[in-house]
Amino acid sequence: MPSFIVRSYPSLVDIYSQHTTIDEGTNETVRDWDYLEYDTTACAVSAVSPEDSLEMFGAEYAYKKFVRLEVPTGEWSLDQRAGNLRSKTGKPYYQRWTGERWEQERFNISGMTTQVDLHGEIAGYELYLELVD
């Protein structure tokens, strides 16, 4: 059974980058994800629930899963995805049953903010994730 987390330290996440190619036949841009190549980083994970927010959200957000990650400095962008959220001991946080096996949920990085320390140096980032449909 998948578990719903409120806060967990320390955790791990896999970050996947998007590969863009041009289809020679149609000249269209093709965006693809290679889930076999990823970078794993330490993080802190918080589940974000629209119904528990002080802000009012539309009905289209009622059943969506949102997650907030605190990650160290690194190369992060909105064209990446995150997945395989787990504790440092390997316990998965978000997974779904496909009818044959459990699969890790994947999230789009839909927002990002920079954390700055008292000296004005970048201390880390907050990544806001939305479950991929």
Give tens-digit pLDDT for 3-57: 444 455 689 999 999 888 888 889 998 888 888 899 999 998 887 665 544 455 5
- 93 DSSP assignment: S
- 79 DSSP assignment: T
pLDDT of residue 5: 46
7-131 placed in CATH 2.40.10.270: yes
Residue keyed to tokens 């997945």 = 83
**CA-CA distance, 123 to 118, in Å (whole number)?**
9
Q: What is the pLDDT of residues 71-114, one digit of tens each?
A: 988 888 888 999 999 988 888 888 888 889 888 889 999 899 99
pLDDT of residue 16: 94
**CA-CA distance, 77 to 84, in Å (whole number)?**
18
pLDDT of residue 51: 52
**CA-CA distance, 92 to 100, in Å (whole number)?**
17
Q: How many residues does the chain have?
A: 133
Binned at pLDDT 50, 70 and 90, residue 119 comes out as very high
